[in-house]
Amino acid sequence: MLCFNILTLTTLILAPVFAFATDVTRPDIVEPPAFRADRVSVSYETAAFFDVGNKNNYFILPQIATVGWQLDEVGNSGWFRGNTEFLFSAFFHPVLNGPENRFVGAAFGPRYNFVQLGSRWIPYIESRVGFCFTDSGTVAGAQGQDFCFTFLVGTGVRYLINDHWQISAGALYQHTSNAGLSEPARENNGLDAIGPKLGVHYAF
């Protein structure tokens, strides 16, 4: 049910973006240089996470630094016109409300950029898997141990300021748990969190 809700949210966000993505007043823009094969970019994103159903009422402020590598040239047509980017991310999540104080880790995975002809607006969907460390403690509802696994799923849109600089806005979902490794000695409580994010990106 949670995955279905995320897919629905993704569709609702992307549909109006695609509807207005193509800027026919800029025929000079053919392919954004930042999305050509082998281009590398760096990004910094900040978010606000609220937990989904956890009894500790988490509130988290994720800080994410990412290196992106464009794997291929823009291809396909219509809505699916775009390319694939691979992400390597490091993150630090201060916990403002919840039993832990922080989550620190790394994650990697693909992002698909919907590069519409002649548009500065680039919608995307992304996913990453990785690991993190926290200070779980002994509070009920925490992660059970300090080492955890994580995966992230997100969607949003980037705006191309010029050939190098971009800004972005979107939504991100993250699941964190220890995959039952703390059981049976300690309770295993996964964390599902979702929220908005903003970012700035620079393409070399």
Q: The pTM is what?
A: 0.83
Q: How far is CA 17 from the centre of its chain?
A: 18
* Residue 16: C-alpha distances to residues 9, 13, 25, 51, 128 (Å): 12, 7, 19, 27, 25
Is residue 190 classed exposed, middle or buried when 0-12, 13-18 and 19+ CB atoms within 10 A define those classes? middle
Helix or strand (DSSP H, E) at 12 = helix 2-19
**CA separation for the pair 121, 93 (Å, rounded):** 28
Instruction: Give the pLDDT confidence of 91-128 residue by residue, as tens digits.
Output: 999 999 998 999 999 999 999 999 998 899 999 999 99
| pLDDT for the residue numbered 185 | 66
CATH annotation of 2-20+29-203: 2.40.160.20
Highest mean pLDDT among 57-71, 136-150, 174-188: 57-71
**CA separation for the pair 176, 115 (Å, rounded):** 31
Helix or strand (DSSP H, E) at 6 = helix 2-19
Residue located via tokens 């996964």: 190
Instruction: Give the pLDDT confidence of 120-149 residue by residue, as tens digits.
Output: 999 999 999 999 999 987 677 788 889 999
Q: How many helices (H) and strands (E) does the chain have?
A: 1, 10
Least confident of 166-170, 174-178, 196-200: 174-178
Q: What is the DSSP string of 40-70?
A: EEEEEEEE-EEESS-TT--EE--EEEEEEEE
**CA separation for the pair 73, 77 (Å, rounded):** 13
- Locate the domains of the chain by residue range: 2-20+29-203
**CA separation for the pair 10, 30 (Å, rounded):** 27
What does the block give as tokens for 168? 């972005």
| pLDDT for the residue numbered 15 | 45
Answer for the pair 131, 152: CB distance below 8 angstroms, yes or no.
no
